[in-house]
Amino acid sequence: MNIIEFKLGKITYHFTVSEQQQALLSLTDETRIDLTTWQGFSEALETSIIKAIPEALTPPSAQEIKHAQTIAHELNLLLPDDYTKRVIICRQFIQQHLLDHQRLLSMFNNVKGKLLK
């Protein structure tokens, strides 16, 4: 047996065992190993699951959510539904209002600069 394969949801994990690992396996007794005890396994599993999610369905980063919230607050706009759950919705909102937000910041900085003189 030189291939390890298992399914988790819609993801199939596949690993080819090296010759050295095969030799070591021939020396082992039957043992059950709890993968939750492996340092880093949970994080690696989560990373692989996130990579398997189509980009349109992935959640936006905390920075993207904060950017959308800032734009909405400063332009007095309503945020779209699911902007915290679907990256495509969050990014579309940001792109749609980015120019107006940049203009507002530019005007604010211009006025602030004149007031500080």
Element (H, E) at 16: strand 11-16
Give yes or no for a contact between 6 and 13, defined as CB atoms under 8 angstroms apart: yes
Q: What is the pLDDT of residues 13-33, one digit of tens each?
A: 999 999 999 999 889 998 898
- Under the banding of pLDDT at 50, 70 and 90, the label for residue 55 is confident
Angle between helices 87-115 and 62-75 (to 10 degrees): 50
Q: Which residues contact 9 (CB under 8 A, 6 or more apart)?
A: 49
Q: What is the pLDDT of residues 59-69, one digit of tens each?
A: 899 999 999 99
